[in-house]
Amino acid sequence: MKKVQKTPMRKCVVTGEVFNKKDLIRVVRTPLGSVIVDETGKANGRGAYIKKDLEVLSKAKKTKVLEKHLEVKIDEKVYDTLERVIKEYLDEGQTA
Domains and CATH numbers, the chain: 9-95 (3.30.1230.10)
Confidence of residue 66 (pLDDT cuts 50, 70, 90): very high
Rg (CA), the chain: 14
Whether residue 26 has pLDDT greater than 80: yes
Q: Tally the residues of the chain.
A: 96
Residue 68 is classified by DSSP as H
Whether residue 75 has pLDDT greater than 80: yes
DSSP string, 49-83: EEES-HHHHHHHHHHTHHHHHHTS---HHHHHHHH
Once rounded to an integer, what is the mean pLDDT over residues 81-94? Answer: 90
Confidence of residue 86 (pLDDT cuts 50, 70, 90): very high
When mean pLDDT is compared across 1-10, 44-53, 79-88, the lowest value belongs to 1-10
